[in-house]
Amino acid sequence: MNEEDELSAAHYLRGQQQARFKTQVDAFAQARKGNSDMVLAHLSGFLAKPADALVALENALASADSVGEFDEPLSHTVVTRLCLQIEGAAAKLEMPLHSGVSASSIMQGGFEAMQQRVMMTNASVVMLTPSLLLLCNRVGKLIARSSVIGVKGDQAEIAHDIESFRMAIQRDPKLLEDWMQLFYDSAYDADNPSPGRLYGLSGEGLYVWSLVRDAMELFAVGHEYGHHIAQHTLGGEISSGGEERARQHAKEMEADLLGAVLSGHAGADDKVPNTYAMSGAGAVILLIVLEYSRRARHVLLKGVEQEITRNTHPPLEVRLATIDAAIDSVAPEAAKEGFRELRARFIEMLGEVWEHAKRAIVMMHERGVRPVKQDVGWLPDQR
C-alpha cells in the first residue's frame, strides 16, 4: 500500500470505531436540531460564555469541511486544530509522521485519548473523548480563577503560587467547592462525569483559561502522536508479567517525552506564545488531574486513598520526572529555571486542592455514597 492508501485505511478504521457510538452521535445530531438543553450544556462546557454555544457550533460546522458521519462537529474541530499544531511542530523538528494520522473525537465515555496503529501500515488512528476535552476546559477555568491576575502596562501579570491560590479561595467562595466537585464528579461516575457548573469568565481570566486549556489538550494529542511517531503498537499484549509491564511503561514514557517536546514547540509557535505548553505545565496539570480523578474514585469506593498501580502506565512521579527531563532537554537555558518553577507551583497547588477534595469525598463515602459502577476493574486504557 502507498501512504495515501494507508491513511485511507486509517480513516476507515476510525469510522468503524466511532460507529460503535452511532447512537450517541445520532442523539447529538437530533438534539442539535431542537437546540436542546442537553446539547447546549455539552457545548457550553467548551466555551467562555454559555450564550455563545450555538454560534460556535454554526462556525464549527461551517469551517470544518472534514466533519464525517460519526464525528461530533465541535470536538472534531477542536481535535483537528490540535493535530495541525502538533503536526506542524513535528515537521519543524523533523520527526517522521510516516503515513499519517486520522484523528477525531469518539463519543465513548471517560477521560480517554488513544492511538491505534493500523495493522500492516504505518498509519495511526488518534481519538479523544469529548469528556477529556471538557475536562481540560473545566480545569483551565478553575486554574484561571485560582490565580491572581494583575495588569502592568499592557501586560498581564499572573501569579500561580500557593499564596495567590489561598487568596483566590478567600475571594471566591465557590472556587474551592467547584474544585472539589471536579474530583467528586469523576469519582461518582468516571464513564460519564457531570460537566460541572456552567459559568463564564471575563477579562484576563479568559486569557489564562484558553492558554491552560490549549496546553493540556496539546499535550494529550502530542502524547498520542508520540506513540505514532515511535511506531508503538499498544494493547493486545497487556499482561501482568513484570517484563511486559516494563515494556509498556517504557512506551508510555517515550510518548510522554515526545508529547512534552511536541506540545512545547507547538505552544511556542502559537499566535500568543503559550508558556503553559512551553514549560510543560499543561502536561503536568493534565497528568495530575487524571491521577487524582482515579484516586478520587477509589476514595469514594473504599473511604481511603490509594495510589493506583497500572500495568499500562508508570506511576505519576515517573511521568512527572519524564516531563522534567523532556522540557530540560529542549528549553532555552535562560528559561529552564522559570519553567521548572511554574511546573512546581501547579504541583503544589493541585496537591492542596486534592487534600480538600479528598476530605470531602471521604465524608461522602461515610454517608454511604458509592461510585455508580462499583466493579472498577481499572481496565487497560491507552491514555
CB atoms within 10 A of CB 377: 6
Nearer to Zn ion, 6 or 252 (CB): 252
CB 135, min distance to Zn ion, A: 16
Q: Which residues contact 191 (CB under 8 A, 6 or more apart)?
A: 109, 110, 372, 373
Residue 79 or 255: the one with the smaller Cβ distance to Zn ion is: 255
Shorter beta-carbon distance to Zn ion: residue 123 or 257: 257
Minimum separation from the CB atom of position 259 to Zn ion (A): 8
Distances in Å between the Cα of 2 and the Cα atoms of 19, 66, 123, 230, 351 are: 26, 22, 11, 20, 49
Does residue 158 sit in helix, strand or coil?
Answer: strand
Task: Point out the residue whose Cβ comes nearest to Zn ion.
Answer: 255
Cell readout for 315 is 506511576
Q: Minimal distance in Å, beta carbon 265 to Zn ion?
A: 19
Subset of residues 228 to 257 that bind Zn ion, contact rule: CB under 5 A: 252, 255
| Residues between 310 and 339 with contacts to Zn ion, criterion CB under 5 A | none
Helix count (H) and strand count (E) of the chain? 14, 5
Give min distance, CB of 229 to Zn ion, in A. 12
Nearer to Zn ion, 215 or 253 (CB): 253
Q: Whole-angstrom Cα distance, residue 354 to residue 151? A: 29
Instruction: Pick between residue 40 and residue 261 the one whose CB is nearest to Zn ion.
Output: 261
Task: Give me the DSSP letters along 270-289.
Answer: SSS--HHHHTTHHHHHHHHH
Element (H, E) at 127: strand 123-128
Count of other CB atoms within 10 angstroms of residue 164: 17
Q: How far is the CB of 251 from Zn ion (least distance, A)?
A: 7
Q: How far is the CB of 113 from Zn ion (least distance, A)?
A: 8
Give exposure, 231-258, as e/b (b: 16+ Cβ within 10 Å).
Answer: ebebeeeeeeeeeebeebbebbbbbbbb
Which lies closer to Zn ion via its Cβ, residue 134 or residue 255?
A: 255
Residues in Cβ contact with 197 at an 8 Å cutoff, skipping those fewer than 6 apart: 174, 178, 181
Vertex 176 angle, CA 171 and 181, to 5°:
150
Q: How far is the CB of 55 from Zn ion (least distance, A)?
A: 35
Q: What part of residues 255-284 is at the interface with Zn ion (CB under 5 A)?
A: 255
CB of 382 to Zn ion, least distance (A): 5
Q: Which of residues 94-153 bind Zn ion (CB under 5 A)?
A: none
In the bound state with Zn ion, the residue whose beta carbon lies nearer, of 297 and 383, is 383
* Of residues 125 and 361, the one with the C-beta less far from Zn ion: 125
Q: How many residues bind Zn ion (CB under 5 A)?
A: 2
List residues binding Zn ion (CB under 5 A).
Answer: 252, 255
